[in-house]
Structure 1
Amino acid sequence: MLYWLLVTLYVVVCLLLLLAVLLQQGKGGDIASAFGGGGGQAAFGARQGATVLTKASAILGGLFMLGALGLAIVGTRGPSSVMSGVPGAAPAPVVPATKAPSAPAAPTATTSPAPATGTATSQPAGAAPAPATLAPAPAAPATAPEPKKQ
């Protein structure tokens, strides 16, 4: 609620600043002064007294900057994602990385264990285990073709 109130006030300040800047009279920095035609004026135009529009644009410019800063601060405390309110769109939980186990993985159902030969083989520490062999696929049973019915 507070966020939308600040956004509304910020838009009003932006519109007022736009009007204040556009209603001001130019400072005499036209093309003639660029070629030496405005010799009696200062570097940035003739010095004028501060009018109501000049003061208003300075105040509204300050409110514009403060409003942008305030909306940035309030906006970061809101939802962290555009999709945070959508059910089922929650991001996957972050799992911290763990150290890989030193033991080899257990064989899966598609691999068969190495045949036992009765002799023990030793491997140096840190060596990879021998590759598992794939079990042969079972042969399909032979079936006799069915006789045709007449």
Structure 2
Amino acid sequence: MTALLYLLVVLHVIISLFLIGVVLLQQGKSADLAAAFGGQGSQTAFGPRGAANLLTKLTTYAAVFFMVTSIGLTILMARTGSDHSVLSGMSGKAKTTQTTPAPAKK
């Protein structure tokens, strides 16, 4: 089970780096020269919308795989059964003592 978890973590990191790279390589929606001077080139409400190119499709697939690996990691971590809380590790290290206040004098 731990080998699958490590494999999924490595795959998740690779997909996230790939997703970052693909998003950074894409041009903006209005990145052409006409947009610099205020022209849109089309009369549609949100600008011209062409067919999805390769980078757009790669972004979509990478996002889907990223979400699937995220859900898979969540399920695998929940099934390990051990307590992975940040606060659970503090119970043995930082012991606190409670004292009762002294009774008030009348």
Give the TM-score band, short-chain normalised: 0.5 to 0.7
Structure 2: which 5+ runs fail to align?
93-106
Q: How far apart in 2 are the matches of 1:45 and 1:19?
A: 25
**Residue 26 (1) aligns with residue 24 (2):** no
Spell out, residue by residue over 1:2-24, the C-alpha distance to the aligned partner (whole angstroms, 9 max, x if none).
11110000000001111111111
RMSD of equivalent CA atoms:
2.8
Return the match for 1:76 from 52, 75, 78: 78
Query: More displaced, 18-27 or 39-48?
Result: 39-48
Q: Which structure is larger by alpha-carbon Rg, 1 or 2?
A: 1
> Which structure 1 residue ranges, 5 or more long, are not aligned?
90-150
Structure with bigger helix share is: 2
- Cα gap change, 1:74 to 1:23, in 2 (>3 Å): same
1:3 aligns with 2:5: yes
**Paired residues of 2:16 and 2:66 also in contact (CA < 8 A):** yes
What SS does the corresponding residue of 1:45 show, helix, strand or coil? Answer: coil
Query: Are the aligned partners of 1:10 and 1:64 in contact in 2 as well (CA < 8 Å)?
Result: yes
Q: Is the 8 A contact 1:14 1:64 kept in 2?
A: yes
Distance 1:82 1:8, change over 3 A: same
Whole-Å separation in 2 of the counterparts to 1:16 and 1:55? 13
Kindly provide the amino acid, as one letter, of the partner of residue 76 in structure 2: V
Aligned match of 2:60: 58
Higher relative contact order (CA 8 A, sep 6+): 2
Q: Which runs of 4+ in 1 moved over 4 A?
A: none
Aligned residues: 83
Shift of the 81–21 alpha-carbon distance from structure 1 to 2, 3 Å rule, reads closer
Give the structure 1 partner of residue 15 of structure 2.
Answer: 13
Distance 1:22 1:45, change over 3 A: farther
Question: 2:42: which partner in 1?
Answer: 40
